[in-house]
Amino acid sequence: MPETTPRFDLIELLFFAYRDFTDDPDVLLNELGYGRAHHRVLHFVHRNPGIRVSDLLGILKITKQSLGRVLKQLVDEGYIEQQHGPLDRRERLLFTTDKGRLLAQQLSQLQTKRINKTIELMPPGSDEIVRQFLYLMIDENDRNDVVRLISQSTTKE
Amino acid sequence: MPETTPRFDLIELLFFAYRDFTDDPDVLLNELGYGRAHHRVLHFVHRNPGIRVSDLLGILKITKQSLGRVLKQLVDEGYIEQQHGPLDRRERLLFTTDKGRLLAQQLSQLQTKRINKTIELMPPGSDEIVRQFLYLMIDENDRNDVVRLISQSTTKE
DNA sequence: AAAATACGTCAGCTATGTTGACTTATATTG
DNA sequence: CAATATAAGTCAACATAGCTGACGTATTTT
Protein backbone atom coordinates (compact mmCIF):
# COMPACT_ATOMS: atom_id res chain seq x y z
CA MET A 1 0.00 0.00 0.00
CA PRO A 2 1.95 3.06 -1.24
CA GLU A 3 1.55 6.41 0.47
CA THR A 4 0.87 8.18 -2.80
CA THR A 5 -0.84 7.08 -6.00
CA PRO A 6 1.84 6.91 -8.68
CA ARG A 7 1.58 9.39 -11.55
CA PHE A 8 2.41 6.88 -14.24
CA ASP A 9 0.84 9.04 -16.93
CA LEU A 10 3.16 12.00 -16.40
CA ILE A 11 6.16 9.79 -15.67
CA GLU A 12 5.77 7.96 -18.97
CA LEU A 13 4.79 11.00 -21.02
CA LEU A 14 7.95 12.73 -19.81
CA PHE A 15 10.00 9.72 -20.83
CA PHE A 16 8.61 9.50 -24.36
CA ALA A 17 8.41 13.24 -24.95
CA TYR A 18 12.01 13.78 -23.91
CA ARG A 19 13.14 10.87 -26.02
CA ASP A 20 11.64 12.28 -29.19
CA PHE A 21 12.64 15.84 -28.28
CA THR A 22 16.31 14.85 -28.20
CA ASP A 23 16.03 12.58 -31.21
CA ASP A 24 15.68 15.40 -33.75
CA PRO A 25 19.13 16.87 -33.01
CA ASP A 26 20.66 13.42 -32.58
CA VAL A 27 19.98 12.56 -36.21
CA LEU A 28 21.81 15.65 -37.48
CA LEU A 29 24.64 15.29 -34.95
CA ASN A 30 25.28 11.67 -35.89
CA GLU A 31 25.83 12.71 -39.50
CA LEU A 32 28.67 14.93 -38.28
CA GLY A 33 30.10 12.23 -36.02
CA TYR A 34 28.94 13.99 -32.88
CA GLY A 35 26.77 12.91 -29.98
CA ARG A 36 24.58 14.46 -27.36
CA ALA A 37 27.58 15.50 -25.29
CA HIS A 38 28.80 17.73 -28.13
CA HIS A 39 25.32 19.17 -28.46
CA ARG A 40 25.17 20.21 -24.83
CA VAL A 41 28.58 21.86 -24.93
CA LEU A 42 27.89 23.69 -28.17
CA HIS A 43 24.46 24.78 -26.97
CA PHE A 44 25.61 26.34 -23.71
CA VAL A 45 28.61 28.02 -25.28
CA HIS A 46 26.33 29.41 -27.95
CA ARG A 47 23.95 30.68 -25.30
CA ASN A 48 26.68 32.07 -23.05
CA PRO A 49 29.41 33.49 -25.25
CA GLY A 50 32.61 33.93 -23.28
CA ILE A 51 31.67 31.40 -20.61
CA ARG A 52 34.54 30.10 -18.49
CA VAL A 53 35.39 26.40 -18.59
CA SER A 54 34.69 25.97 -14.89
CA ASP A 55 31.26 27.61 -15.19
CA LEU A 56 30.41 25.30 -18.09
CA LEU A 57 31.41 22.35 -15.92
CA GLY A 58 29.00 23.63 -13.28
CA ILE A 59 26.10 23.75 -15.72
CA LEU A 60 26.74 20.35 -17.25
CA LYS A 61 27.70 18.70 -13.96
CA ILE A 62 30.35 16.53 -15.57
CA THR A 63 34.06 16.25 -14.90
CA LYS A 64 36.80 18.31 -16.49
CA GLN A 65 38.10 15.19 -18.24
CA SER A 66 34.74 14.38 -19.84
CA LEU A 67 34.28 17.93 -21.00
CA GLY A 68 37.86 18.08 -22.24
CA ARG A 69 37.34 15.28 -24.68
CA VAL A 70 34.36 16.73 -26.50
CA LEU A 71 35.49 20.33 -26.19
CA LYS A 72 38.82 19.50 -27.83
CA GLN A 73 37.02 18.00 -30.82
CA LEU A 74 34.75 21.01 -31.18
CA VAL A 75 37.74 23.36 -31.01
CA ASP A 76 39.87 21.27 -33.39
CA GLU A 77 37.08 21.14 -35.93
CA GLY A 78 36.38 24.86 -35.76
CA TYR A 79 33.05 25.04 -33.97
CA ILE A 80 34.34 26.68 -30.79
CA GLU A 81 37.14 29.19 -30.12
CA GLN A 82 39.02 29.92 -26.92
CA GLN A 83 40.31 33.32 -25.79
CA HIS A 84 42.34 34.27 -22.78
CA GLY A 85 40.36 36.13 -20.14
CA PRO A 86 41.13 39.85 -20.40
CA LEU A 87 41.36 40.29 -16.64
CA ASP A 88 42.57 36.81 -15.67
CA ARG A 89 44.72 35.23 -18.33
CA ARG A 90 44.36 31.78 -16.74
CA GLU A 91 40.79 31.62 -17.96
CA ARG A 92 40.02 30.27 -21.43
CA LEU A 93 36.76 31.92 -22.38
CA LEU A 94 34.68 29.95 -24.87
CA PHE A 95 32.97 31.33 -27.96
CA THR A 96 31.24 29.73 -30.92
CA THR A 97 32.70 30.43 -34.36
CA ASP A 98 30.44 31.30 -37.30
CA LYS A 99 30.44 27.60 -38.13
CA GLY A 100 29.55 26.68 -34.56
CA ARG A 101 26.85 29.30 -34.37
CA LEU A 102 25.26 27.95 -37.54
CA LEU A 103 25.20 24.41 -36.22
CA ALA A 104 23.84 25.50 -32.84
CA GLN A 105 21.08 27.40 -34.64
CA GLN A 106 20.19 24.44 -36.81
CA LEU A 107 19.95 22.19 -33.79
CA SER A 108 17.82 24.54 -31.72
CA GLN A 109 15.64 25.13 -34.74
CA LEU A 110 14.79 21.44 -34.93
CA GLN A 111 13.74 21.48 -31.31
CA THR A 112 11.89 24.77 -31.68
CA LYS A 113 9.89 23.39 -34.59
CA ARG A 114 8.67 20.50 -32.49
CA ILE A 115 7.77 22.85 -29.65
CA ASN A 116 5.96 25.31 -31.91
CA LYS A 117 3.97 22.58 -33.65
CA THR A 118 2.89 21.44 -30.20
CA ILE A 119 2.01 24.86 -28.77
CA GLU A 120 -0.03 25.75 -31.86
CA LEU A 121 -2.37 22.87 -31.10
CA MET A 122 -2.96 23.99 -27.51
CA PRO A 123 -5.15 26.67 -25.93
CA PRO A 124 -3.63 30.15 -25.56
CA GLY A 125 -1.54 30.55 -22.42
CA SER A 126 -0.57 26.89 -22.34
CA ASP A 127 3.08 27.64 -22.87
CA GLU A 128 3.15 29.68 -19.67
CA ILE A 129 1.66 26.76 -17.72
CA VAL A 130 4.18 24.38 -19.24
CA ARG A 131 7.05 26.73 -18.44
CA GLN A 132 5.90 26.97 -14.86
CA PHE A 133 5.58 23.19 -14.57
CA LEU A 134 9.06 22.54 -15.92
CA TYR A 135 10.50 25.29 -13.76
CA LEU A 136 8.99 23.81 -10.60
CA MET A 137 10.25 20.33 -11.51
CA ILE A 138 13.81 21.65 -11.17
CA ASP A 139 15.56 21.28 -7.81
CA GLU A 140 14.72 24.28 -5.68
CA ASN A 141 18.39 25.11 -5.15
CA ASP A 142 19.08 25.27 -8.88
CA ARG A 143 16.05 27.28 -9.98
CA ASN A 144 17.65 30.70 -9.57
CA ASP A 145 20.67 29.64 -11.61
CA VAL A 146 18.44 28.39 -14.39
CA VAL A 147 16.38 31.56 -14.50
CA ARG A 148 19.55 33.62 -14.61
CA LEU A 149 20.87 31.42 -17.40
CA ILE A 150 17.72 31.68 -19.46
CA SER A 151 16.98 35.38 -19.11
CA GLN A 152 20.50 36.74 -18.93
CA SER A 153 21.94 34.86 -21.88
CA THR A 154 23.21 37.19 -24.54
CA THR A 155 22.72 35.05 -27.61
CA LYS A 156 22.70 37.19 -30.72
CA GLU A 157 20.33 36.06 -33.46
CA MET B 1 18.46 35.01 -40.21
CA PRO B 2 16.58 31.99 -38.87
CA GLU B 3 13.07 31.21 -40.04
CA THR B 4 11.78 30.78 -36.51
CA THR B 5 12.68 32.40 -33.19
CA PRO B 6 14.29 29.74 -31.03
CA ARG B 7 12.40 28.66 -27.90
CA PHE B 8 15.44 28.62 -25.66
CA ASP B 9 13.31 28.89 -22.53
CA LEU B 10 11.41 25.67 -23.10
CA ILE B 11 14.45 23.90 -24.55
CA GLU B 12 16.50 24.63 -21.46
CA LEU B 13 13.70 24.08 -18.96
CA LEU B 14 13.12 20.65 -20.48
CA PHE B 15 16.81 19.86 -20.15
CA PHE B 16 17.07 20.83 -16.49
CA ALA B 17 13.67 19.47 -15.45
CA TYR B 18 14.37 16.09 -17.01
CA ARG B 19 17.80 15.99 -15.44
CA ASP B 20 16.45 16.46 -11.93
CA PHE B 21 13.44 14.23 -12.59
CA THR B 22 15.70 11.29 -13.39
CA ASP B 23 18.16 12.12 -10.64
CA ASP B 24 15.88 11.03 -7.77
CA PRO B 25 15.72 7.39 -8.92
CA ASP B 26 19.38 7.44 -9.97
CA VAL B 27 20.51 7.99 -6.40
CA LEU B 28 18.60 4.96 -5.13
CA LEU B 29 19.60 2.81 -8.11
CA ASN B 30 23.28 3.56 -7.69
CA GLU B 31 23.14 2.25 -4.14
CA LEU B 32 21.99 -1.08 -5.60
CA GLY B 33 24.61 -1.06 -8.33
CA TYR B 34 22.08 -0.34 -11.03
CA GLY B 35 21.75 2.40 -13.61
CA ARG B 36 19.06 4.07 -15.63
CA ALA B 37 18.92 1.17 -18.04
CA HIS B 38 17.82 -1.16 -15.25
CA HIS B 39 15.22 1.38 -14.17
CA ARG B 40 13.62 1.51 -17.58
CA VAL B 41 13.44 -2.25 -17.91
CA LEU B 42 12.05 -2.73 -14.41
CA HIS B 43 9.54 0.07 -14.89
CA PHE B 44 8.02 -1.21 -18.11
CA VAL B 45 7.91 -4.81 -16.92
CA HIS B 46 6.20 -3.60 -13.74
CA ARG B 47 3.69 -1.66 -15.80
CA ASN B 48 3.12 -4.44 -18.33
CA PRO B 49 3.23 -7.74 -16.49
CA GLY B 50 3.77 -10.59 -18.94
CA ILE B 51 5.24 -8.39 -21.64
CA ARG B 52 7.17 -10.23 -24.35
CA VAL B 53 10.87 -9.51 -24.79
CA SER B 54 10.38 -8.29 -28.33
CA ASP B 55 7.63 -5.86 -27.28
CA LEU B 56 9.87 -4.50 -24.55
CA LEU B 57 12.58 -3.97 -27.17
CA GLY B 58 10.06 -2.00 -29.20
CA ILE B 59 9.24 0.30 -26.30
CA LEU B 60 12.83 0.91 -25.26
CA LYS B 61 14.16 1.10 -28.83
CA ILE B 62 17.40 -0.63 -27.94
CA THR B 63 18.97 -3.82 -29.26
CA LYS B 64 18.42 -7.31 -27.97
CA GLN B 65 22.04 -7.44 -26.81
CA SER B 66 21.77 -4.24 -24.78
CA LEU B 67 18.56 -5.39 -23.16
CA GLY B 68 19.98 -8.85 -22.54
CA ARG B 69 22.76 -7.53 -20.37
CA VAL B 70 20.60 -5.61 -17.90
CA LEU B 71 17.70 -8.05 -18.02
CA LYS B 72 20.01 -10.91 -17.08
CA GLN B 73 21.17 -9.03 -13.99
CA LEU B 74 17.62 -8.23 -12.92
CA VAL B 75 16.60 -11.87 -13.36
CA ASP B 76 19.71 -13.23 -11.63
CA GLU B 77 19.19 -10.93 -8.66
CA GLY B 78 15.52 -11.78 -8.30
CA TYR B 79 13.77 -8.63 -9.49
CA ILE B 80 12.25 -10.10 -12.64
CA GLU B 81 10.95 -13.57 -13.51
CA GLN B 82 10.48 -15.21 -16.88
CA GLN B 83 7.73 -17.61 -17.85
CA HIS B 84 7.16 -19.50 -21.05
CA GLY B 85 4.27 -18.15 -23.07
CA PRO B 86 1.22 -20.39 -22.58
CA LEU B 87 0.30 -20.36 -26.26
CA ASP B 88 3.75 -19.94 -27.78
CA ARG B 89 6.46 -21.52 -25.70
CA ARG B 90 9.17 -19.61 -27.58
CA GLU B 91 8.14 -16.46 -25.79
CA ARG B 92 9.63 -15.62 -22.38
CA LEU B 93 7.03 -13.45 -20.73
CA LEU B 94 8.44 -11.03 -18.15
CA PHE B 95 7.02 -10.39 -14.67
CA THR B 96 8.31 -8.51 -11.65
CA THR B 97 8.79 -10.52 -8.47
CA ASP B 98 7.62 -9.13 -5.11
CA LYS B 99 11.13 -7.74 -4.67
CA GLY B 100 11.02 -6.18 -8.12
CA ARG B 101 7.58 -4.75 -7.56
CA LEU B 102 8.73 -3.12 -4.35
CA LEU B 103 11.71 -1.48 -6.00
CA ALA B 104 9.62 -0.31 -8.95
CA GLN B 105 7.15 1.24 -6.54
CA GLN B 106 9.86 2.99 -4.56
CA LEU B 107 11.32 4.44 -7.74
CA SER B 108 8.03 5.66 -9.15
CA GLN B 109 7.15 7.09 -5.76
CA LEU B 110 10.23 9.30 -5.82
CA GLN B 111 9.21 10.66 -9.20
CA THR B 112 5.59 10.99 -8.18
CA LYS B 113 6.56 13.06 -5.15
CA ARG B 114 8.39 15.54 -7.33
CA ILE B 115 5.43 15.72 -9.70
CA ASN B 116 2.88 16.17 -6.92
CA LYS B 117 4.90 18.87 -5.20
CA THR B 118 4.97 20.68 -8.53
CA ILE B 119 1.30 20.26 -9.41
CA GLU B 120 0.22 21.45 -5.96
CA LEU B 121 1.83 24.81 -6.61
CA MET B 122 0.00 25.29 -9.90
CA PRO B 123 -3.53 26.41 -10.81
CA PRO B 124 -6.18 23.66 -11.06
CA GLY B 125 -6.28 21.95 -14.42
CA SER B 126 -2.61 22.53 -15.06
CA ASP B 127 -1.82 18.84 -15.06
CA GLU B 128 -4.19 18.31 -17.98
CA ILE B 129 -2.39 21.04 -19.96
CA VAL B 130 0.97 19.52 -19.14
CA ARG B 131 -0.22 16.06 -20.15
CA GLN B 132 -1.43 17.41 -23.44
CA PHE B 133 1.83 19.24 -24.08
CA LEU B 134 3.96 16.16 -23.41
CA TYR B 135 1.64 14.00 -25.47
CA LEU B 136 1.90 16.30 -28.47
CA MET B 137 5.68 16.44 -28.17
CA ILE B 138 5.78 12.71 -28.95
CA ASP B 139 6.23 11.64 -32.57
CA GLU B 140 2.81 11.45 -34.21
CA ASN B 141 3.36 7.82 -35.22
CA ASP B 142 4.08 6.72 -31.67
CA ARG B 143 1.27 8.56 -29.87
CA ASN B 144 -1.29 5.79 -30.16
CA ASP B 145 1.14 3.24 -28.79
CA VAL B 146 1.89 5.47 -25.83
CA VAL B 147 -1.76 6.07 -25.04
CA ARG B 148 -2.43 2.35 -25.23
CA LEU B 149 0.53 1.71 -22.96
CA ILE B 150 -0.54 4.26 -20.37
CA SER B 151 -4.26 3.49 -20.21
CA GLN B 152 -4.20 -0.25 -20.82
CA SER B 153 -1.42 -1.11 -18.40
CA THR B 154 -2.59 -3.50 -15.75
CA THR B 155 -0.36 -2.50 -12.86
CA LYS B 156 -1.85 -3.64 -9.59
CA GLU B 157 -1.33 -1.28 -6.65
C1' DA C 1 10.66 -31.49 -43.81
C1' DA C 2 11.84 -26.71 -44.39
C1' DA C 3 11.48 -22.11 -43.16
C1' DA C 4 10.44 -18.54 -40.03
C1' DT C 5 10.27 -16.70 -35.41
C1' DA C 6 11.53 -15.66 -30.40
C1' DC C 7 15.10 -15.46 -27.73
C1' DG C 8 19.83 -15.89 -26.08
C1' DT C 9 24.83 -15.31 -26.51
C1' DC C 10 29.76 -14.44 -28.06
C1' DA C 11 33.04 -11.01 -29.55
C1' DG C 12 34.34 -6.56 -30.29
C1' DC C 13 33.50 -1.55 -31.02
C1' DT C 14 31.99 3.40 -29.54
C1' DA C 15 30.42 7.28 -26.67
C1' DT C 16 30.41 9.29 -22.49
C1' DG C 17 30.72 9.24 -17.95
C1' DT C 18 34.08 8.28 -13.71
C1' DT C 19 38.81 8.68 -10.34
C1' DG C 20 43.36 9.88 -9.43
C1' DA C 21 47.66 12.00 -10.38
C1' DC C 22 50.29 15.40 -12.50
C1' DT C 23 51.70 19.82 -15.32
C1' DT C 24 51.59 24.61 -16.81
C1' DA C 25 50.40 29.25 -16.57
C1' DT C 26 48.86 32.86 -13.94
C1' DA C 27 47.04 35.29 -9.80
C1' DT C 28 46.85 36.05 -4.98
C1' DT C 29 48.68 36.36 -0.53
C1' DG C 30 51.80 36.38 3.51
C1' DC D 1 59.39 38.29 -3.48
C1' DA D 2 58.41 33.64 -2.29
C1' DA D 3 54.81 30.58 -1.30
C1' DT D 4 50.41 29.16 -2.26
C1' DA D 5 46.12 28.89 -4.68
C1' DT D 6 43.49 28.72 -8.86
C1' DA D 7 42.13 27.77 -13.97
C1' DA D 8 42.79 24.74 -17.18
C1' DG D 9 44.79 20.81 -19.65
C1' DT D 10 46.44 15.98 -19.91
C1' DC D 11 47.63 10.93 -19.09
C1' DA D 12 46.05 6.48 -17.70
C1' DA D 13 42.72 3.32 -16.42
C1' DC D 14 38.07 2.02 -15.69
C1' DA D 15 32.52 1.47 -15.97
C1' DT D 16 28.09 1.75 -18.19
C1' DA D 17 25.25 1.32 -21.82
C1' DG D 18 24.58 1.74 -26.33
C1' DC D 19 25.94 -0.54 -31.13
C1' DT D 20 26.93 -4.35 -35.23
C1' DG D 21 27.54 -8.93 -36.88
C1' DA D 22 27.37 -13.73 -36.42
C1' DC D 23 25.61 -17.80 -34.72
C1' DG D 24 22.81 -21.32 -31.72
C1' DT D 25 18.52 -23.38 -29.84
C1' DA D 26 13.82 -24.13 -29.15
C1' DT D 27 9.50 -23.81 -31.14
C1' DT D 28 5.96 -22.66 -34.46
C1' DT D 29 4.35 -22.10 -39.09
C1' DT D 30 4.18 -23.33 -43.79
- pLDDT value, residue B3: 67
Distant-in-sequence, close-in-space partners of B9: CB < 8 Å, separation ≥ 6: A131, A150
Count Cβ atoms below 10 Å from residue B145 Cβ, excluding itself.
14
The separation between CA B111 and the C-alpha centre of its own chain, rounded to angstroms, equals 11
DSSP bridge partners of A51: A94
- pLDDT value, residue A4: 84
**Helix (H, G, I), strand (E, B), or coil: what is residue B121?**
coil
* Rounded Cα distance, A28 and A107, in Å: 8
Percent of chain A with pLDDT over 70: 94
DSSP characters over B13-53: HHHHHHHHHHHHHHHHHHHTT--HHHHHHHHHHHHSTTB-H
At the top level of CATH, the class of B8-123 is: mainly alpha
Q: Which segments within chain B are labelled E, that is strand?
A: 80-84, 92-96
As a CATH number, domain A14-152 is: 1.10.10.10
Interface of B with A in 123-152 (CB under 8 A): 123, 126-127, 129-139, 142, 146, 149-150
Residue B106: CB less than 7 A from any atom in strand C: no
* Rounded Cα distance, A52 and A119, in Å: 35
Cβ within 8 Å, pair A146-B20: no
- Looking at residues A57-65, what average pLDDT do you find? 96
- pLDDT value, residue A151: 86
**Helix (H, G, I), strand (E, B), or coil: what is residue B95?**
strand
Assign A43 a pLDDT band (cuts: 50, 70, 90).
very high
Q: Which nucleotide is nearest to A26 (CA to C1')?
A: C15
DSSP state of B6: -
Residue A97, phi then psi, degrees to nearest 5? -85, 180
Domain chopping of chain A, boundaries: 14-152
pLDDT in tens, A96-140: 999 999 999 999 999 999 999 999 999 999 999 999 999 999 999
Task: Inform me whether the pLDDT recorded for A2 exceeds 60.
Answer: no
DSSP characters over A53-97: HHHHHHHHT--HHHHHHHHHHHHHTTSEEEEE-SS-TT-EEEEE-
- Looking at residues A6-20, what average pLDDT do you find? 95
- pLDDT value, residue B1: 56
Q: Which of A116, A139, A149 sits opposite B4 (nearest CB)?
A: A116
- pLDDT value, residue B4: 84
Cα dist. A152→A47, A49, A53, A101, B10 in Å? 9, 11, 18, 18, 15
pLDDT in tens, chain B (157 residues): 556 899 999 999 999 999 999 999 999 999 999 999 999 999 999 999 999 999 999 999 999 999 999 999 999 999 999 999 999 999 999 999 999 999 999 999 999 999 999 999 999 999 999 999 999 999 998 999 899 988 865 554 4
Burial of B103: CB neighbours in 10 Å, binned 0-12, 13-18, 19+: buried
| Radius of gyration of the CA atoms of chain A, in A | 18
CB under 8 A, 24+ apart: contacts of B71-76: B71/B41, B73/B34, B73/B38, B74/B38, B74/B41, B74/B42, B74/B100
Question: For strand D, which nucleotides have at least one atom less than 7 Å from a protein CB?
Answer: 6-13, 16-22, 26-29
- pLDDT value, residue B119: 97
Which is nearest to A44 in space by CA: A14, A67, A19, A77? A67
- pLDDT value, residue B151: 86
- pLDDT value, residue A155: 55
- pLDDT value, residue B42: 98
- pLDDT value, residue B87: 95
- Looking at residues A15-41, what average pLDDT do you find? 95
- pLDDT value, residue A54: 97
